[in-house]
Amino acid sequence: MAADRLAGRRAIVTGAGSGIGAAVAARLRADGARLFTADVKGAVDFTADLAGAGANAELVARARAAMGGLDTLVPCAGISAFHPLEGHDDGYFLRVLEVNLVAVFRLVRDAVADLKAAGNGRIVTIGSTTSSYGDDGLCAYAASKHAVLGFTRAVAAELGPFGVTANCVQPGAIATPMTAPAFAEMPQYRSFWENKASLRRLGQPEDIADVVAFLVSDDARFMSGHGVWVDGGAMARH
Ligand SMILES: NC(=O)c1ccc[n+]([C@@H]2O[C@H](COP(=O)([O-])OP(=O)(O)OC[C@H]3O[C@@H](n4cnc5c(N)ncnc54)[C@H](O)[C@@H]3O)[C@@H](O)[C@H]2O)c1
């Protein structure tokens, strides 16, 4: 892609220490965007538990100061683990909602003035195919990802008059550190997703990052409020 496709963009990418977030950061940087990255671990500009109260406000303030402004948000930080409904404890359910949903809400809220002022703001959230469907043992995760899609659509509606677009990328099964343990422990789960995808493979983080870069770019200027499956055609075979 052209090295200047995203020139002038100033973006926060969370979850940039690993997997999809790291690939998104690399893609946006390669396309000419300025970035301020965050994660609880890894080589990022701001290290914090983004589910903590005040963490996103501090992230936004630091990013604004470092880049002289802010017009793009790509919150990729997320957690997932299998927990059957029976015996599912409150703490883990709430933690998943805090990281996958509430932290995204806080980031967008705390940056809303910057995005409005930019006139061409971009928000790309990371949902999941479980933003549209359920999956065994993933009640907390699916609840959080359904909610992120709904949140994104509400934001698109509210901020559209200010030139801000908001879309939710919904990855299928992607080979990252998040999915590696489940795929290693349950090879049949890996095969299930490889075979479910019309393209008959797992996704790579770059498969998601390239679509995020498109949604941030001017090419996607009239696209807002969408949930976009980037799943190798898995849901086409549902
Ligand atoms: N891998 C997949 O198959 C898949 C599918 C659908 C959606 N997703 C979503 O994509 C996003 C990225 O996932 P990934 O697969 O790259 O996983 P990953 O584990 O490789 O990366 C997630 C990153 O988020 C960070 N993070 C987690 N909790 C945090 C917190 N409280 N504060 C700050 N940082 C935190 C982690 O440290 C990690 O670097 C997540 O939102 C995930 O739900 C992944």
pLDDT in tens, the chain (238 residues): 567 999 999 999 999 999 999 999 999 999 999 999 999 999 999 999 999 989 999 999 999 999 999 999 999 999 998 999 999 999 999 999 999 999 999 999 999 999 999 999 999 999 999 999 999 999 999 999 999 999 999 999 999 999 999 999 999 999 999 999 999 999 999 999 999 999 999 999 999 999 999 999 999 999 999 999 999 999 998 6
Residue 189 designated active-site:
no
Give the domain ranges of the chain. 10-237
CATH number of 10-237: 3.40.50.720
Catalytic residue among 92, 133, 141, 189: 141
CA gap 137, 211 in Å, rounded: 28
- Ligand 1 centroid – CA 130 distance (Å): 14
pTM of this prediction exceeds 0.85: yes
Pick from 159, 173, 181: nearest CA to 111: 159
Alpha-carbon torsion angle 38, 152, 234, 210, nearest 10: -50
- Ligand 1 site residues, Cβ closer than 6 angstroms: 15, 17-21, 39-42, 49-51, 76-80, 99, 126, 128, 171, 173-174, 176-179
> Which atom of ligand 1 is found nearest the CA of 50?
32
